[in-house]
Amino acid sequence: MGINEDRDLPEKMLYLGNFVEVQEKKGFPFLYNLLSIRIWTLLEAFVDEFLIKLILEEENLRSIKEIEKLKGELLNFIYKSRYEQADFILELLKSDQKNVTGFGVNRFESLLKIFGHDGQVEETVKRQLMELSQIRNVLVHKNGKADGRLVTNCSWLGINEGDEVNLDMGHFIRYMSSVHWYILEVFRRHFIKTNRNNFNDYLIHLQKETLKDVFKFVKIKNIRKKIEG
């Protein structure tokens, strides 16, 4: 460590101490904002990998109309590995479906539908994932300030354009549990599709247990709104 860095250390430690103190009083929003961004990224990665697996395992890929009409650079495609080719196809599908996918979980469902893996999503989970996706966007792209899209698509939040978005533990648990429920749902559909119904009851049980946390913290949020109102 250099001399200048040594001299700056007390000032940095004081700044860090003040930052932690403020964060503690507010319920650690900086931490939960980062965690919420991360879990949405993980959900996107999971769905991408799942779709790539479906593309790799699909024996009649050319018979799928959404894939048949795709256009891309042939030479760029030919020299890729099988996994890279599947990823290439997925990116083309995403681009092609961009105008019809919608927000939140709908963007995943429209892609899963191409391979017969779409289905019903529990309404509370659907709302939480919509909320998570829109909040993630303002945290990453709008410096944590609510934009018109968040205000419109998540009107139940009761926030205004320009409001600062700060998440707490309750938000994070609702979002994390909703992501968990949805991942279980995708697996459940796949097992049914591949005639492995012996997993169904267990997965439904796990989903019900996961929903308890979602409902619990939604209820707490609603109670808080009534008190603050």
Q: Where are the domains of the chain?
A: 27-167
Percentage of the residues of the chain whose pLDDT score is greater than 70? 91
Model confidence, pTM: 0.87
Average pLDDT score over the chain:
88
Question: Which comes out higher in pLDDT, residue 100 or 152?
Answer: 152
Strand ranges in the chain using DSSP code E only, listed in sequence order:
none
| Contact in structure between 89 and 52 (CB atoms under 8 Å) | no
Closest C-alpha to 57, from 201, 167, 194: 194
pLDDT at 4: 56
pLDDT at 115: 94
Contacts of residue 200, defined as CB under 8 A and 6 or more positions apart, other chains included, come to: 188, 191, 192
Closest C-alpha to 149, from 163, 165, 138: 138
Using one digit for the tens of pLDDT, what is the confidence trace for 50-76? 999 999 998 888 889 888 888 888 878
What's the pLDDT band for 223 if we cut at 50, 70, 90? very low
Rounded-to-integer distance, Cα 26 and Cα 24, Å: 5
